[in-house]
């Protein structure tokens, strides 16, 4: 376990007067997660409580590294991949307040992300999971993982799941969420190939899109009502490592969520032609006897799950699919953790 570093630094208070305070800093990394039973809809907007439970797989190779430095500057700062990022700052500030209290010193937060941000690859999940772990260590607040998950979830619903590795279920209670790790990262060697079909940021953020769906889609209420059935099917499939059963419920749940989006007013369509072409490629793979299933989030990228014996053919078929720009390939990863700075 890497501990937060505390350095003694001097601050000038007034001309000629100095004092010594602790400089509190720590770094953490977290991976995005891909939901197979999706979170779409909020029960409580102010607290960002999800309307439904969800079930996800944490990825191994996509990663956000976050350094939190409570450096007692005049205001919080956020730097993402070397650039000042004021747009996300208020969410970061609120998250730091929840971890370390509103009386905390101001912080400089630096984030490095090795995959596209805001493009339907759950970059906010890995970001806020890493942020809570780094802030918790830097401020020595000693919160346990479930508390950090709840704080991360208040910033970004899916971020709660990235505190944990492997296969994770988020339960949505009336008043708070709960999290259960259903399988460890090394328990089931699922493979994920992400087909990138567009690199730009999505036109509508998922938070606003969820609100629009709840207010306007005629299918929203049945989406909510059926979610527990899908969660039970997915949980059972994970328990016995039934890839085909997991794939069936995952594709069904994904298409149901997108039906809610499409039937919103105005419609929310994150897909492009390559998204559809990838779905067809997966169907053809299955027709040829290869076990694979897809899922798609609030963006045009297609995530294809397979077992190790099929991952090469999945990658080859997706590479040849019209409109696929590039691919990312990964296995199942661990939860958020501290790293050396």
- Are the beta carbons of 58 and 303 closer than 8 angstroms? no
Distance CA 51, CA 175 (A): 11
Pick 138 or 260: Cβ nearer ligand 2P0: 260
Query: Which span (6-14, 20-28, 35-43, 228-236) binds ligand 2P0, by CB under 6 A?
Result: 35-43
Can you say whether the dihedral through the CA atoms of 315, 317, 320, 323 is positive or negative? negative
Residues from 103 through 162 that contact ligand 2P0 (CB under 6 A): 122, 124, 156-158
- Backbone dihedral angles phi then psi of residue 77, each to the nearest 5 degrees: -130, 145
> Nearest distance from residue 154's CB to ligand 2P0, in Å?
9
Query: Which span (31-39, 69-77, 78-86, 141-149) binds ligand 2P0, by CB under 6 A?
Result: 31-39
Distance CA 161, CA 32 (A): 9
- Backbone dihedral angles phi then psi of residue 265, each to the nearest 5 degrees: -125, 120
Closest C-alpha among 33, 68, 298, 61 to residue 162: 33
Kindly report the number of other CB atoms within 10 A of residue 11's CB atom: 12
Taking CB under 6 A as the criterion, the residue among 48, 191, 217, 301 binding ligand 2P0 is 48
> Nearest distance from residue 288's CB to ligand 2P0, in Å?
29
Distance CA 327, CA 335 (A): 23
> Nearest distance from residue 38's CB to ligand 2P0, in Å?
4
Pick 44 or 334: Cβ nearer ligand 2P0: 44
> Nearest distance from residue 230's CB to ligand 2P0, in Å?
12
35 binds ligand 2P0 (CB under 6 A): yes
Pick 158 or 217: Cβ nearer ligand 2P0: 158
Pick 205 or 322: Cβ nearer ligand 2P0: 205
Pick 73 or 267: Cβ nearer ligand 2P0: 267
CA 226 to chain centre: 23
DSSP 112: E
SS3 58: strand
Taking CB under 6 A as the criterion, the residue among 29, 69, 230, 297 binding ligand 2P0 is 297
Taking CB under 6 A as the criterion, the residue among 5, 183, 207, 248 binding ligand 2P0 is 207
H/E element, 133: helix 123-138
Site residue total, ligand 2P0 (CB under 6 A): 15
Taking CB under 6 A as the criterion, the residue among 26, 27, 39, 306 binding ligand 2P0 is 39
Query: Which span (38-46, 177-185, 277-285, 303-311) binds ligand 2P0, by CB under 6 A?
Result: 38-46
Query: CA of 307: how far to CAs of 40, 89, 332, in Å?
Result: 27, 39, 11
Pick 89 or 106: Cβ nearer ligand 2P0: 89
Pick 48 or 58: Cβ nearer ligand 2P0: 48
Query: CA of 40: how far to CAs of 131, 162, 202, 307, in Å?
Result: 23, 17, 16, 27
Q: At what angle do helices 206-216 and 243-262 cross, to 10 degrees?
A: 70
Pick 92 or 138: Cβ nearer ligand 2P0: 92
CA neighbours within 13 Å on the CB side: how many for 254? 25
Pick 198 or 298: Cβ nearer ligand 2P0: 298
H/E element, 93: helix 89-100
- Are the beta carbons of 99 and 91 closer than 8 angstroms? no
Interacting residues with ligand 2P0 (CB under 6 A): 35, 38-40, 48, 54, 122, 124, 156-158, 206-207, 297-298
């Amino acid at each position: 376990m890497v501990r937060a570093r505390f350095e003694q630094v001097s601050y000038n208070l007034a001309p000629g007067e100095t004092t010594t305070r602790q400089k509190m800093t720590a770094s953490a990394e977290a991976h995005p997660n891909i939901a197979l039973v999706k979170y779409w809809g909020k029960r409580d907007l102010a607290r960002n409580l999800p309307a439904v439970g969800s079930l996800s797989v944490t990825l191994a190779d996509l990663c956000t590294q976050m350094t939190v430095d409570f450096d007692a500057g005049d205001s919080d700062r956020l730097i993402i991949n070397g650039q000042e990022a004021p747009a996300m700052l208020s969410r970061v500030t609120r998250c730091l307040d929840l971890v370390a209290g509103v009386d905390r010193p101001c912080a400089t937060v630096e984030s490095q992300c090795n995959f596209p941000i805001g493009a339907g690859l759950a970059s906010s999940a890995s970001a806020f999971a890493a942020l809570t772990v780094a802030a918790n260590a830097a401020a020595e607040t000693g919160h346990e993982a479930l508390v950090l998950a709840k704080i991360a979830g208040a910033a970004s619903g899916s971020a709660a799941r990235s505190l944990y590795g492997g296969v994770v279920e988020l339960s949505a209670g009336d008043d708070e969420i709960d999290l259960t790790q259903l399988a460890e990262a090394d328990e089931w060697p699922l493979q994920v190939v992400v087909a990138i079909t567009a690199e730009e940021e999505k036109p509508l953020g998922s938070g606003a899109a969820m609100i629009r769906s709840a207010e306007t889609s005629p299918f929203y209420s049945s989406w909510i009502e059926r979610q527990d059935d899908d969660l039970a099917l997915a949980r059972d499939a994970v328990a016995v490592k039934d890839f085909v059963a997991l794939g069936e419920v995952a594709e069904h749940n994904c298409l149901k969520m997108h039906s809610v989006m499409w039937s919103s007013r105005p419609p929310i369509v994150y897909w492009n032609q390559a998204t559809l072409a990838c779905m067809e490629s997966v169907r053809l793979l299955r027709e040829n006897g290869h076990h694979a299933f897809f899922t798609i989030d609030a963006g045009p990228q297609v995530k294809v799950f397979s077992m190790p014996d099929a991952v090469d053919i999945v990658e080859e078929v997706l590479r040849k699919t019209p409109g696929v720009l590039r691919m990312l390939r990964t296995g199942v990863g661990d939860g958020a953790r501290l790293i050396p700075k």
